[in-house]
Amino acid sequence: MAKKIKQIAIYGKGGIGKSTTTSNISAALSKLGYKVMQFGCDPKSDSTNTLRGGEYIPTVLDTLREKSSVKANDLIFQGFNGIYCVEAGGPAPGVGCAGRGIITAVELLKQQKIFEKLDIDIVIYDVLGDVVCGGFAVPIREGIAEHVFTVSSADFMAIYAANNLFKGIQKYSNSGGALLGGIIANSINQPYAKSIVDDFAQRTSTQIVQYVPRSVTVTQSELQGKTTIEAAPDSEQAAVYTALAKKIAEHEKSTTPAPLDVAELREWAKSWADQLLALETGAVTSVGQSI
């Protein structure tokens, strides 16, 4: 019997550090001995840049645009430590349907059974920001990824995007879709930031998989076109990513989150705004005391 391929999807608001986190997870997993594929599902097609020395690779859709029949092997490029890199790509901004593009790209690789052929252990889909339409929900639908992780900071908009993703997961959870592994809390340096994401995780019945601090090492590595795992393998930040990668590799059981409805989410955000304001003005509250 063929081995079970672990497929995970990583979602999060644009600019939150999704691709950075994903690439570092891929790099750390490959260093741990897993055969990894990173599948960028964003029309920007820069998910795998830091695995390829800052180099862009031809995308599935660019190739499809030029040729009527495409071999999956032509779409896969190896990067750091033998990681297989694929970029779905998309149409020019403002035309066509990027969501359908993601569906087409994912289906193409699935049909050609490329994961099995390459004997891959773990596939990571790096999916753009919000679940704006059906196309971007493809990785969490039946038969693609099993586990979803979301990268979120303590910013309201990032949490809003995470909450939307939870709604998507909840929707597909009854029809064999992916379930939620947890939140990767990114850029968590201030104590109140940790409290905010912890509170959100608790309210939506999920967990924080890892707190990832903001670090200048990441920026330095990215400027070299590399992941932190590659550029600064002995750094503290690399240790954080490796710990995260281990947890993901060992992660078995995901759950259905309990997203907040829009009014609840706004109310929740407002209560945090009040608490932060109180903190700033020096008022002593229970939350203020705890942080």
Partner 1 sequence: MSNSIERPRYYCSLGGALSTLEALPDTIPILHAAVGCAGSIAWAQNGGSGLQVGGYCGGLAVPSSNVSERDVVFGGVDRLHEQIGTTLELMDGELYVVITGCVTEIIGDDIRSVTAEYRAQGVDIVAANTGGFKGNSYLGYDIVLSELVKQYVAYDLPKAPKTVNILGIVPYMDAFWRGNLIGARRLLEKIGVTVNTFFTNEDTLDNLKNSSSAALNVVLSDVYGVDAARTYEEVHGVPFIQATLPVGPTASAELLRAVASALNLDVDVEAVIDEENRQYFRYLEPLADVYNDADLQKYAVVIADVNYAVAVTRFLIDDLGWLPVLTQFTDVLDEETQEIITAKLRTDDPIPAPKVVFDTNATEAIRYINELYPKQESDKYAETLTPAFVIGSSLDRSLATKIGAGHLSVTYPISNRAVLSRGYTGFAGGLSLVEDLLSAAVAAR
Residue 167 annotated as catalytic: no
Pattern 26-65, partner 1, x by CB under 8 A: -----------------------------------x--xx
Residue 130 annotated as catalytic: yes
Which is the catalytic residue, given 6, 42, 130, 226? 130
Binding range to partner 1, per CB under 8 A, among 76-84, 96-104, 169-177, 224-232: 96-104
Which structure tokens are listed for 270?
A: 């407002």
Question: Burial, 191: exposed, middle or buried (Cβ in 10 Å; 0-12, 13-18, 19+)?
Answer: exposed
Contact between 70 and partner 1 by CB under 8 A: the answer reads no
Taking 3-state DSSP, the helix, strand and coil percentages for the chain, each rounded to the nearest 5, stand at 50, 15, 35
Q: Closest by alpha carbon to 186, among 7, 24, 9, 8?
A: 24
Which residue's structure tokens are 């840049």? 49
Residue 13 annotated as catalytic: yes
CB of 153: closest distance to partner 1 in angstroms?
32
Residue 67 annotated as catalytic: no
Render 104-157 in DSSP notation, one character per residue.
HHHHHHHHTTHHHHTT-SEEEEEE-SS--SGGGGGGGSTTS-SEEEEEE-SSHH
Applying CB under 8 A, among 1, 2, 92, 284 the residue interacting with partner 1 is 92
CB of 104: closest distance to partner 1 in angstroms?
6
Give contact residues for partner 1 (rule: CB under 8 A): 61, 64-65, 90-92, 95-98, 100-101, 104
Report the catalytic residues: 13, 18, 44, 130
